[in-house]
Structure 1
């Protein structure tokens, strides 16, 4: 419950919804205006990139009109759920056009652009918007009637400015912390790659099967037992926890146990860098029959070094050559071809040192992911307090 009075977004004193293109009817067709596709709206920062321009005559029809200071709000799934919304700033000639998947909110006397933007970015508002979407799956949209009837807390203008400023100050500090942490991760990435390049000098190359063993720990499922599944992100982004499944849900599908330190390939997306080393928290989780697990031979290789190689240019090129097909699930990594791929085999002690640094980098990466989630939670909490009148 908010201590501020509530008003409908559609009230004349609050905002105009989807202003009419008739406002620019008097402008010549060769007037340059800003053009903003959906991809130019950043759901993290809540800003839009207005660097692209088009002549007004090219966008009068088939696009959504907005002007300086308007708030654009993505109405289609999943852009709306992801928080794509922004204030139109620094538009060419004060005019912008963009995708038809925008709703436009123009602030009136009682609210500011910044207050409106915070409101439509609020998690509670977006959850309600999702419940009111219309349309077929994958093409659902927020109807304008939902916006018109939604109630927004309306503090005095000076309070809106104060609250917005406080939230911006706090989020700026959070962003500074995130950037510093990301910089540490980037510096370790650069160091690891330099170390890897140096380790390749004069190194012997051997088939993967000579330095690591294919090791699959088959599990016999029980209907009433629960199994925590592990997933692998593409593009070298590591592992993640998938939902817990019961043996009944798994049915007759084959699953295999994952242990910490395993080098794991997703055989249908390895070509897309779905390759990772199982972390400590992955120990005991399960993978589907699509997962290929290798255990390095002691004294010959480490998982971290091999993984780094396979995610690099030469390694991923070999993985793709061993994954025939066109794309997606048609590109399956062959077991025999994988076993025969040549990999560099530096001195084992050098690989162990590399692994120590790689594990440090992974720890920082996990901390960064945790920070990102913590910041999302904190931001949602700040907005909730703001609209209750507690900030």
Structure 2
């Protein structure tokens, strides 16, 4: 079905947020919505009681589009707040467009834009180009029907993701039950340092003098660590280096069971941790913003090490060594000093068996990836007019 293509700027207003400065931050007032508050609801807010124009105020139900660093669409469902720069507040023209339809159309448009930002470390869209982006605009009643179909598919994805999160939390709970809290070490296990229990802990300061290629060796970056704590296996989301360059950095080449962790960045340092579980990324190289842990399997099981690092206690031990500067960093030298308790390797292997059971349950259920593919297929059909409504 051929529907007219219209520019985003003709069916909605896109209001860029206020340019708050650190001097505007206060202990009280309304929360200031920054991009990190959209991508991670656990992130703390800054606050301000400044008297700023109403157009910068956000209420529950408002559509927001982050257009710098992270490109995505969000619907605000928290307390009234103030909007920071680099985020658009979207005010639809309800005579022309249904809000829920617009939300999915924006998501589809941004997905198309992301295909052209591959290799960029700081994604950013030009306001004029964004407002000039065209989307199909069916009649309002058809828009509502399309949005309802996509909402149902989206809810399936959310339900599946919730199941995955609960199974992942189960393994973390079993870890604490078996070994105790890492800070207090109530079971009085032997204490070692990470340097003692790893055959290598390594990062290379930077790569020099090469361009990414269309085919080659995958370069694992912070963004390739999935939300559930794995190094992603979807190679379409990777940049690639020539094999000849990869060989120049042999200690950055990954093996199964390796663990990678962000060591530089605003909010990801020490927190974004991924386990190498897929053959797709074996022999890939870590980027300079990551460090690699390789367990000495005679002393520590890689799965035990991973759950130690991602536990609340492990995170506190890591945080102790993260710099307090705006661009947070942690050095390999300091990481090697971190203390870890070491239960008998046989007990660690028993925990691995529990972990494997939870992974098998996840693999046996419908994967979030399957629902993502279903949703993408529905989106494609919806905006081509091929859905049977």
Same fold (TM over 0.5): yes
User: 1:274 & 1:265 partners in 2: Cα distance?
Assistant: 6
- Whether the aligned pair in 1 keeps the contact of 2:218 and 2:239 (CA below 8 Å) is yes
Deviation at 1:353, TM superposition (A): 0.2
User: 1:200 & 1:112 partners in 2: Cα distance?
Assistant: 57
Give the 3 Å change call, closer, same or farther, for CA 389–248 of structure 1 in structure 2: same
Deviation at 1:78, TM superposition (A): 3.5
- Alignment of 1:59 with 2:43, yes or no, is no
Which among 61, 67, 72 is matched to residue 76 of structure 1?
67
Larger Rg: 1
User: 1:280 & 1:89 partners in 2: Cα distance?
Assistant: 36
Secondary structure, in 3 states, of the residue corresponding to 1:195?
A: helix
Deviation at 1:128, TM superposition (A): 5.5
User: 1:213 & 1:75 partners in 2: Cα distance?
Assistant: 41
Contiguous gaps of at least 5 residues in structure 2:
16-29, 203-209
Deviation at 1:201, TM superposition (A): 1.6
User: 2:115 & 2:150 partners in 1: Cα distance?
Assistant: 25
Which among 109, 113, 136 is matched to residue 152 of structure 1?
136
Secondary structure, in 3 states, of the residue corresponding to 2:136?
A: strand
Secondary structure, in 3 states, of the residue corresponding to 2:381?
A: helix
Aligned to 2:159: 176
Deviation at 1:58, TM superposition (A): 1.6
Superposition CA RMSD, Å: 5.3
User: 2:274 & 2:114 partners in 1: Cα distance?
Assistant: 37
User: 1:149 & 1:108 partners in 2: Cα distance?
Assistant: 19
User: 1:277 & 1:90 partners in 2: Cα distance?
Assistant: 33
Contiguous gaps of at least 5 residues in structure 1:
20-33, 46-51, 217-222
Q: Deviations over 1:328-367 (max 9, x none)?
A: 68632229x83x7654332332121012223444566789
User: 1:296 & 1:261 partners in 2: Cα distance?
Assistant: 10
Aligned to 1:220: none
Write the mapping of 1:18-33 to structure 2, written as runs, cut at 5 A.
none
Deviation at 1:185, TM superposition (A): 1.9
Secondary structure, in 3 states, of the residue corresponding to 1:4?
A: coil
Give the 3 Å change call, closer, same or farther, for CA 185–322 of structure 1 in structure 2: closer
Aligned to 1:352: 349
Q: Deviations over 1:270-312 (max 9, x none)?
A: 9715666543525444557964534222xx5423223433444
Give the 3 Å change call, closer, same or farther, for CA 150–36 of structure 1 in structure 2: farther
Secondary structure, in 3 states, of the residue corresponding to 2:127?
A: coil
Aligned to 2:255: 259
User: 1:185 & 1:65 partners in 2: Cα distance?
Assistant: 37
User: 1:67 & 1:237 partners in 2: Cα distance?
Assistant: 32
User: 1:293 & 1:246 partners in 2: Cα distance?
Assistant: 24
TM superposition score normalised by structure 1: 0.63
Q: Deviations over 1:167-194 (max 9, x none)?
A: 2222223322222232222222212222
Give the 3 Å change call, closer, same or farther, for CA 239–58 of structure 1 in structure 2: same
Q: Deviations over 1:96-147 (max 9, x none)?
A: 9744542534324343232333322223x66369979xxxx7664322x863
Write the mapping of 1:1-391 to structure 2, written as runs, cut at 5 A.
2-7=1-6, 15=11, 17=13, 37-39=33-35, 42=38, 58-60=51-53, 63-64=55-56, 72-74=63-65, 76-79=67-70, 81-84=71-74, 86=75, 98-99=83-84, 101-102=87-88, 104-123=90-109, 127=112, 140-143=125-128, 147=131, 150=134, 152-155=136-139, 157-197=140-180, 201-206=187-192, 213-214=199-200, 226-230=216-220, 233=225, 237-240=229-232, 243-250=239-246, 252-255=248-251, 257-262=253-258, 272=270, 278-279=276-277, 281=279, 282-286=281-285, 291=292, 293-297=294-298, 300-312=299-311, 315=314, 331-334=330-333, 338=336, 343-361=340-358, 371-391=367-387
More deviation in 285-294 or 223-232?
223-232
- Whether the aligned pair in 2 keeps the contact of 1:36 and 1:97 (CA below 8 Å) is yes
Give the 3 Å change call, closer, same or farther, for CA 106–54 of structure 1 in structure 2: farther
Give the 3 Å change call, closer, same or farther, for CA 343–102 of structure 1 in structure 2: closer
